[in-house]
Structures are given as structure tokens and as C-alpha cells.
Amino acid sequence: MEQAAWALRPFAPAPGTVLAPLIEIPDGGVKEFSFGVGFNVWRMFVLRREGSVYGYLNLCPHYSMPLNHRDNEFMSRDGSKIMCRQHLALFRVEDGACLGGACDGRSLDAVPLRLDNGMIVIA
């Protein structure tokens, strides 16, 4: 079985890594997580929406830069879409697909998650 691209990056956490208790992210909220140090730090963010959690690598598919400028700032003004603050590209929450901007035909790299006894875990 081929490994997902996110898992091959330096400092990528192993499947089974516990990220945080679910209650740390309110419904509609976002939280960023990072592993490692320096230039190759591995960054992801988790969104919670209507009882589901979605995880994505914090890396714009257009230019390989983090999507956010400020801590945990990943959403459009109305909170309905993920937004790259570098290029203003918009992405669908449920699958990371590009909806407009400098990312046509691309998607965010999903990091699979599961809930285990109230904890968010990399699947």
C-alpha cells in the first residue's frame, strides 16, 4: 500500500498520534498542530464542523506556503470555506477541493483523522 504524501514529509507524525481532546476545538473552530522544528516543521490544521473533524496539511497547493498568517486563521470571513491567506484561494471543508483562486484543479492534502474516546487521532 502506497503511503500518502503527507506521511512522507519530514517530521510527519505517525498514525495513532493523539492531537488533542475534541472539546479543545469548538464547533466551527480550527486549531493548528505542528511537529518538528526549523525549516521542515510539519504543520497541519483540524476543523470541527457539525460533529465531524477534518484534517489538512497546512500547505497551499499553489505555492507550498502555509495557508495562514495568524494562529488558527484558516477560514473565509463567513466561516464556510478554508481560505489561503497568501493567495486568497478557497477550498471546500469536507474534502479540501479548490473552489476558486490560484489553485484550480488542486486540493489540500488531507490528513485522515478519527475520534477515539473524545480524542482527535491521526488515523
> What pLDDT, on a 0 to 100 scale, did the predictor assign at position 110?
97
Asked if residue 2 has pLDDT above 70, the reply is no
* The pTM of the whole model exceeds 0.85: yes
What CA–CA distance (Å, rounded) separates 118 from 23? 8
What CA–CA distance (Å, rounded) separates 34 from 38? 11
Query: What domains are defined for the chain?
Result: 5-12+20-122 (2.102.10.10)
The values of phi and psi at residue 44, to 5°, are -140, 170
Q: pLDDT for 34-90, tens place per residue?
A: 999 888 899 999 999 998 999 999 999 988 899 998 999 999 999 999 999 988 999
49 beta partners: 52
Asked if residue 30 has pLDDT above 60, the reply is yes
Q: If you search the block for the grid coordinates 463567513, which residue do you land on? A: 78
CB 15 within 8 A of CB 30: no
